[in-house]
């Protein structure tokens, strides 16, 4: 492909400034794969790529073992890129429209049960980093935050009087979420001790021991550390607490729409994964407690 075609990818990526770096890099990788395919096929311009050739590209990726979910993301990136090319007049059609990717079984998210969650959050240490970490863990579980959302929080985003948090989620969309009393108390304890760390950032709610806004990697490592320290036998990561929040709320309320709003999901179908988890939990309870199911298991044991 000509360098001008490569430049179109770079120009498109610049329009995605509102997305996270992780997402922008994913778009770039997806389009790099497509561009390499086009070079091998002798396709010199983006306008030369049609629906059939794009289906061949998807089929080729699928034969290499790429999952349906990854292929869906590939197509999403390509559709967005061609929407940009349509707006700029570089192409007249979007070849990705109408193409369907192979389906793969949707994996259920891993989560902690209520007892495990309480065990994780029962942090008794009172050094400044432990106080900060407890506030982070309590807030993720209390409000179901994404990792990127917890990192981007500023002190002014919290309304202590109404116990409400203003979060900026995907696509720069903001939402208001209630905060539980344990999280409020943990955050208050942290803010009283925050000045112990020399801060280069007076806005960020959570900062590192160097005074900068805390990084994603740092939170991941600290969550893993506390899970081990608190005696949990499973690998724990920040998003697991978000999944646990959603599942526990659903078990108590059964209100899927409310959970969608709290999590900031644009599509209810994304939230519906938690109904499968809820059914899985009910099925387990049934197997363990129903007289007939119990008797059947006993017969099998014999």
In the sheet with 158-159, reading across from the earlier edge strand, the strands are 158-159, 164-168, 174-178
Known catalytic residue: 265?
Answer: yes
**Catalytic site residue from 73, 132, 134, 242:** 242
CB 164 within 8 A of CB 264: no
Using CB atoms within 10 Å of the CB of residue 98, give its burial: 0 to 12 exposed, 13 to 18 middle, 19+ buried.
exposed
Provide the residue count of the chain. Answer: 302
Known catalytic residue: 146?
Answer: yes
3-state class (DSSP) for residue 2: coil
Known catalytic residue: 242?
Answer: yes
**Catalytic site residue from 146, 213, 222, 243:** 146
**Catalytic site residue from 45, 83, 170, 175:** 170
Known catalytic residue: 239?
Answer: yes
Q: How many CB atoms lie within 10 A of CB 38?
A: 20
Give CA–CA dist 237/116, Å, rounded. Answer: 13
> Scanning the structure block, which residue is given the tokens 């400034």?
17
**Catalytic site residue from 79, 83, 175, 265:** 265
**Catalytic site residue from 45, 62, 224, 239:** 239
Give the pair of three-digit tokens for residue 171.
């696509």
Closest CA to 8 of 62, 88, 79: 88
**Catalytic site residue from 37, 82, 141, 274:** 274
Query: Which residues belong to the active site?
Result: 146, 170, 239, 242, 265, 274
């Amino acid at each position: 492909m000509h360098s001008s075609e490569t430049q179109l990818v770079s120009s498109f990526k610049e329009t995605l400034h509102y997305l996270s770096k992780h997402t922008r890099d994913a778009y770039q990788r997806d389009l790099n794969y497509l561009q390499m395919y086009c070079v091998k096929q002798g396709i010199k311009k983006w306008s030369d790529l049609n629906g059939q050739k794009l289906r061949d590209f998807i089929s080729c990726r699928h034969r290499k073992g790429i999952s349906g979910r990854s292929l869906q993301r590939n197509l999403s990136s390509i559709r967005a890129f061609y929407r940009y090319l349509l707006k700029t007049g570089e192409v007249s059609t979007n070849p990705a429209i109408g193409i369907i990717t192979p389906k793969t079984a949707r994996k259920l998210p891993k989560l902690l049960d209520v007892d495990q969650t309480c065990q994780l959050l029962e942090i008794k240490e009172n050094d400044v980093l432990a106080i900060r970490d407890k506030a982070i863990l309590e807030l993720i579980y209390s409000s179901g935050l994404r990792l990127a959302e917890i990192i981007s929080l500023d002190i002014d985003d919290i309304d202590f009087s109404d116990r409400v948090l203003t979060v900026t989620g995907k696509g720069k969309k903001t939402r208001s979420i209630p905060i539980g009393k344990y999280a409020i108390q943990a955050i208050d304890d942290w803010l009283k001790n925050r000045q112990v760390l020399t801060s280069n950032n007076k806005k960020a709610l959570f900062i590192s021991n160097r005074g900068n806004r805390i990084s994603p990697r740092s939170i991941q490592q600290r969550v893993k550390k506390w899970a081990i320290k608190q005696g949990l036998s499973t690998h724990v990561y920040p998003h697991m607490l978000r999944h646990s929040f959603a599942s526990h709320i659903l078990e108590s309320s059964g209100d899927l729409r409310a959970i969608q709003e709290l999590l900031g999901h644009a599509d209810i179908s994304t939230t519906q994964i938690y109904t499968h988890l809820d059914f899985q939990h009910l099925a387990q309870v049934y197997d363990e407690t129903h007289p007939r199911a119990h008797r059947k298991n006993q017969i099998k044991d014999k």
